[in-house]
Structure 1
C-alpha cells in the first residue's frame, strides 16, 4: 500500500541538496519531492518494502536534519 508523508527538513539550500535527497530516497525504493522554500520533503513509499524510518535515515545520512 502506498503511503505519503511530509517531512520538515533543515539544511537544504540548493539544487545539489534536492538531488542528494531525491537520489538517496530513490536508492531505497521510494520517491521524494523536495520543496526548498517550504523546507519540506514529501515522500511516497510502499510500506511493505520500506519504512518511513528508513527514509528518514537515508535523508539524515546525506547530512540533513529532520525536524
Structure 2
C-alpha cells in the first residue's frame, strides 16, 4: 500500500467529498481516504496505482491537477 496525494478542483460541499470517496472505493473498497476540501487535497492510501485513482476521481467530474 502507498499513500498518494491529489489536488482536486471542484469539491464544494459534503456531497462532493462523498462522491470522491465513493469513486475511489469503487476501485479499491479497502482504500483509506482523507479529504481536506479547504485545501482541495485528497489523500488516499491504496494498493492501486496513482493513475487509476486519478481516473476514478475524474470520472466523477472533478479535475485532478497533474
The normalised TM-score by structure 2 is 0.88
Correspondence for 1:52: 50
1:9/1:40 contact within 8 Å kept? yes
Deviation at 1:52, TM superposition (A): 1.1
Counterparts of 1:32-51 in structure 2, within 5 Å, are 32-46=33-47, 50-51=48-49
Correspondence for 2:6: 7
Alignment partners' CA distance in 2, 1:18 and 1:63: 12
How many residue pairs align between the two structures? 63
Correspondence for 2:18: 19
RMSD in angstroms over aligned alpha carbons? 0.9
The normalised TM-score by structure 1 is 0.87
1:8/1:39 contact within 8 Å kept? yes
1:21/1:32 contact within 8 Å kept? no
SS at match of 2:38: coil
SS at match of 1:37: helix
SS at match of 1:12: coil
